[in-house]
Structure 1
Amino acid sequence: MATAVLARENDENRVLTQAISKIAGCWKLSNEQLGAMLGLSAASVSRLRSGSFELDRSNKAFELGQYLVRLFRSLDALMGSDDDAAMSWLRTANLDLEGRPIDLIRSVKGLGEVTNYVDDYRARV
């Protein structure tokens, strides 16, 4: 039974790591930008992108990665899967959020606020 749990956790680590890597590619995030969002060094993010490092369920970076995936999915739904529109929204100053979302999501607080903002906006649509 312990082996099955460990295998499931390893799968979750791998899947989230791959999703984060794809999001970084879609949003054209640098290793430094992604690292700031996840609380990782640029070197760790480089290894993540190359496949030699995985997020671990027991670390804060995993939880932050889950929020990043949630933001990506919500923004993708709002923008009709238009990556250019999503990137434009992320890089444009938002009066409600009082800043550019791409800058705000570099902190834990900002990531939560931007994610909640997009989720709230989706609920109204």
Structure 2
Amino acid sequence: MNIETALKEAMATEGAQGASLVDYESGMCLGAVGGGRELDLEVAAAGNTDVVRAKMRTLSSLNLDDSVEDILITLSTQYHIIRLLPTARGNLFLYLVLDRQRANLALARHNLRRIEQALAL
């Protein structure tokens, strides 16, 4: 599955408002679908890069021999899911924003895992 198809699959998740694939070393958004005036996926990509980097520093500081699968940020009206995809081409994450009233969080996480496994980078 290519990036465009992966993002379209993510947007097929009930309640999806935006999805992107981000390189968290550079903060660059490699692809995005959805969003809009109230959800700038480029800005979100850069901001969530800081979140991922902070979590990685924390794991290192704690000397934990473990890895992050995903990070969930819960807002009053949205869920933001960051699914890390360590690959040979760099450190990437899938980012999905969901309407909290319409989304099934467990199903959304399951869908992102499925997309991750099918994504060819």
Q: Structure 2 length as normaliser, TM-score?
A: 0.28
Which one has the largest radius of gyration?
Answer: 1
Higher strand share: 2
**Larger relative contact order (CA 8 Å, sep ≥ 6):** 2
Higher helix share: 1
